[in-house]
């Protein structure tokens, strides 16, 4: 298959690459073989051959080919709660709303209904890869992996571990540490074989919810499983004052230091939030090659601070974006690109209008739309250690086609005013699911309008 169209992507942090009328050759396994520019000597031959073999897919006027969006942090069971219950701080929100909702996934019928709806909706929003937290339930979380497998989404899925009786209610807790570890192994084994031996589109993650919800024994056991299987790890890290202080109290360490002691910081670990990390924590996270899921909308409600995205990127950390459904009230990654830029601007400018302008904010904190888009694609890909996030030879063809010329949309473009780079900026700020005309994962067309 050859896809012909204008490619907009950001392989290098802070800059955009535009390939006008590029030809993207994709093999039967969904791998990009090569990308030809119009000036390439092979362009015309490649185009003619594709036409002759009826292998050409041409984008229409006003359509652009972008990498699929990567969401590094979704709580799948919280989908029914999206857009509500955000008036409480983290601890109370978990205990009063979230744990009771998650407990319902003992019911597999309910799980299938919700997870089918979630995966459909995220794909429709152009999210081609998601790192999911399930619930404590082994069977329902296997079902979540099944639904991703069936619908064709790229996913990393984890059975949530919560075995600490001090922090987890009786109605929503693993029976014991031994059960937490046995079920994690069973889950990793199940997902590892899910698409047949050649498929790696759906992968497992070891998933301690966060330090408060786990006993030390469970954290240690999960660290061992992560090392043994060399699989992904996901957890929350230094998200809010309450949570960060709880870990300091219990372990005398920051989350980062504590997770490291349990062997949970690997090059396949994604730390959600990481808002309150110290400069030394940043160094540890970089040295261990972990990724950070920056969840800018969720952070407004739960974090008590603004994640220093600029500082983290400048320090060489791998940062991607997460919706944190339902801690963040929006399902799509473009909203979170906007929020990441907005939060960084507020951090730079400051918050107290009565404070002196010179001391009101934190200088040099801003990120721009290109950096936000990089996080939404390349940053997420690197955090997950996957060959996705850009339209280049050697990468998987995970892509979206954005239509900028719909009559019923907030996105308008003007031929004589907008460059392709302007169009990317407008897409980030004004496109929504209506504009996502096609969604491709691993060379397979999953949505077409």
Contact set with Fe ion (CB under 5 A): 272, 324
Measured between alpha carbons, how far is 123 from 115 in angstroms, rounded to an integer? Answer: 12
Length of the chain: 449
302 binds, among ligand GUN, Fe ion, none (CB under 5 to 8 A by kind): ligand GUN
Q: Which does 154 bind (CB under 5 to 8 A by kind): Fe ion, ligand GUN, none?
A: none
Show the binding pattern over residues 89-108: x = contacts ligand GUN (CB under 6 A), - = does not: -x---x---x----------
Contact between 327 and ligand GUN (CB under 6 A)?
yes
- Residue 435 in tokens: 């504009």
Angle between helices 420-430 and 333-349 (to 10 degrees): 90
User: Of Fe ion, ligand GUN, none, which one sits near residue 98, judging by CB under 5 to 8 A according to partner kind?
Assistant: ligand GUN
Residue ranges in 64-93 that form contacts with ligand GUN under rule CB under 6 A:
75, 90
Sequence-separated (6 or more) residues with CB below 8 Å from residue 178: none
φ, ψ of residue 185 in degrees (nearest 5): -60, -45
Residue closer to ligand GUN, measured from CB, 85 or 290: 85
The residue (of 300 and 362) whose beta carbon lies closer to ligand GUN is: 300
Contacting residue, 187, 210, 262, 373, with ligand GUN by CB under 6 A: 210
298 binds ligand GUN (CB under 6 A): yes
The residues that bridge with 236 in the sheet, in sequence order, are: 272
Q: What is the three-class DSSP state of 348? A: helix
Nearest approach in angstroms of CB 74 to Fe ion is 8
Q: Which does 239 bind (CB under 5 to 8 A by kind): ligand GUN, Fe ion, none?
A: ligand GUN
* Closest distance of CB 304 from ligand GUN, Å: 12
**Max CA-CA distance within the chain?**
69
Whether a cis peptide bond, with omega within 30° of 0, leads into 326 is yes
- For residue 224, how far is the Cα from the chain centroid? 25
Are 193 and 148 in contact by the 8 Å Cβ rule? The answer is: no
Query: Which one of Fe ion, ligand GUN, none is in contact with 26 (Cβ closer than 5 to 8 A by kind)?
Result: none
Window 115-134: residues binding ligand GUN (CB under 6 A): none
Nearer to ligand GUN, 98 or 128 (CB): 98
Among 60, 61, 62, 67, residue whose Cα is nearest residue 9: 67
Continuous segment of H or E residues that includes residue 22 = strand 17-26
Q: Which residues bind ligand GUN (CB under 6 A)?
A: 75, 90, 94, 98, 209-210, 236, 239, 298, 302, 324, 327
């Amino acid at each position: 298959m050859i896809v012909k169209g204008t490619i907009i992507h950001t392989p290098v942090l802070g800059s955009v690459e535009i390939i006008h009328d590029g030809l993207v050759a994709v093999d039967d396994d969904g791998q990009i073989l090569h990308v030809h520019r119009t000036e390439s000597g092979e362009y015309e031959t490649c185009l003619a051959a594709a036409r002759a073999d009826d292998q050409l897919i041409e984008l229409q006027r006003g359509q652009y080919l972008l990498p699929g969006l990567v969401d590094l942090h979704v709580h799948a069971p919280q989908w029914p709660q999206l857009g509500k219950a955000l008036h409480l701080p983290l601890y109370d929100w978990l205990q009063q709303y979230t744990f009771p909702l998650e407990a319902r996934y003992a019911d597999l019928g309910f799980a299938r209904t919700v997870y089918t709806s979630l995966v459909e909706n995220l794909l429709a929003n152009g999210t081609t890869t998601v790192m999911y937290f399930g619930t404590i339930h082994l069977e329902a979380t296997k079902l979540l992996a099944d639904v991703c497998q069936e619908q064709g989404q790229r996913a990393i899925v984890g059975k949530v571990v919560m075995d600490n009786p001090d922090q987890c209610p009786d109605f929503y807790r693993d029976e014991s540490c031994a059960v937490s570890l046995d079920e994690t192994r069973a889950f990793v084994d199940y997902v590892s074989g899910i698409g047949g031996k050649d498929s790696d589109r759906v992968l497992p993650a070891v998933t301690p919810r966060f330090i408060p919800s786990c006993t030390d024994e469970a954290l240690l056991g999960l660290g061992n499983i992560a090392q043994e299987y060399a699989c992904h790890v996901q957890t929350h890290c230094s998200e809010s004052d309450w949570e960060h202080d709880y870990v300091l109290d219990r372990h005398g360490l920051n989350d980062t230091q504590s997770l490291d002691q349990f062997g949970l910081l690997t090059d396949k670990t994604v730390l959600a939030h990481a808002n309150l990390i110290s400069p030394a924590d940043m160094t540890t996270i970089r040295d261990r090659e972990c990724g950070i899921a920056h969840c800018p909308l969720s952070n407004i409600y739960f974090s008590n601070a603004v994640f220093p995205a600029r500082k983290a990127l400048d320090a060489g950390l791998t940062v991607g974006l997460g919706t944190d459904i339902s801690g963040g009230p929006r399902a799509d990654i473009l909203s979170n690109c906007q929020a990441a830029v907005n939060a960084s601007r507020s951090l730079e400018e400051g918050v107290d209008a009565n404070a002196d302008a010179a001391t009101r904010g934190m200088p040099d904190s801003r990120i721009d739309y290109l950096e936000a888009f990089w996080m939404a694609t390349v940053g997420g890909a690197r955090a997950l250690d996957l060959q996705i996030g850009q339209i280049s030879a050697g990468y998987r063809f995970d892509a979206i086609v954005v239509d900028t010329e719909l009559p019923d949309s907030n996105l308008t473009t003007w031929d004589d005013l907008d460059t392709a780079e302007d169009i990317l900026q407008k897409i980030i700020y004004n496109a929504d699911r209506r504009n996502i005309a096609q969604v491709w994962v691993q060379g397979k067309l999953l949505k077409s309008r």
